[in-house]
Amino acid sequence: MITKGKPPEKEDNAWVLDYLPYGSSDDKRPSYQKKPVVQAVGEKHFVLMELVPKEGKVPDIQARVYIGEGDRDLIDHVKHRIPYQDLSHGAQLELPYILEMSVKHHEDKFIQFFNDAHPITNRLHMLELLPGIGKKLMWAIIDERKKGTFKNFQDLHERVGGVHSPEKVIVNRIIEELKDDNIKYRLFTIPIRRSRDQ
């Protein structure tokens, strides 16, 4: 959320977007040499990645898998980070649903964003980076949170009528950040060039 300084901690869990039994489409080896890969999105920083499943394991799409240090049930290792454009068609279709599940799973973290969001420059507020939130809605959120912090998405929606689905607003911003490597401000993701794997 526009943080500077120490690098973000690695992802411990990821959500499965697609299972590719014959590997990535950019793998030019003959099919008998290709190994299955899993396309997934990290739970904390929404890192897009390819994972190598353990021999004989086929993770379900939308499954939450452990990829951190130590024993892993389904995943052998993280292969590498990938840009949005390298996701399979199925993974791109699955991404909004998975992100919404993840955002709801971590509702406290994201409602905190609405409670803590602040100006980035004299003319631009963090809230304005969210799709569908202009000056009028931004001031409605700021005025309402002065009366008391938002408890959850439902509370935010009830108190600021213009924010119909806060989780969808956040998901749309995450997807914008994942699609554009050169986006100026990142609220929820980290740029792909920061590290080669994860």
CA distances from 107 to 12, 98, 144 (A): 18, 14, 19
38 or 28, greater pLDDT? 38
Question: Lowest-confidence range among 11-20, 29-38, 97-106, 141-150?
Answer: 29-38
Q: Do domains 13-87 and 105-194 have the same CATH topology?
A: no
Handedness of CA 39, 3, 5, 107 (dihedral sign): negative
Per the prediction, the chain carries an average pLDDT of 90
CA distances from 49 to 24, 40, 88, 111, 117 (A): 12, 5, 12, 26, 28
198 or 59, greater pLDDT? 59
Q: Region 134-158: what's the mean pLDDT?
A: 96
CA distance 130 to 44: 18
Q: Region 144-161: what's the mean pLDDT?
A: 96
Q: Tell me the pLDDT band of 193, cut-offs 50, 70 and 90.
A: low
Tens digit of each residue's pLDDT (9 = 90 or more) over 36-71 = 999 999 999 999 999 999 999 999 999 999 998 877
Write down the architecture of domain 13-87 according to CATH: Beta Barrel (2.40)
DSSP assignment, residue 4? Answer: -
Q: Tell me the pLDDT band of 85, cut-offs 50, 70 and 90.
A: very high
Q: What per-residue confidence (pLDDT) applies to 71?
A: 79
Domain map (residue ranges) of the chain: 13-87, 105-194
Q: What per-residue confidence (pLDDT) applies to 198?
A: 43
The C-alpha angle 47, 67, 195, rounded to 5 degrees, equals 40
CB 2 within 8 A of CB 126: yes
**Which two structure tokens, joined as six digits, stand for 192?**
């792909």
Under 8 Å CB-to-CB from 66, ≥6 apart: which residues? 12, 13, 72, 73, 74, 75
DSSP assignment, residue 163? Answer: -
Q: Region 116-142: what's the mean pLDDT?
A: 95
CA gyration radius, the chain: 18
Q: 105-194 domain in CATH 1.10.150.280?
A: yes
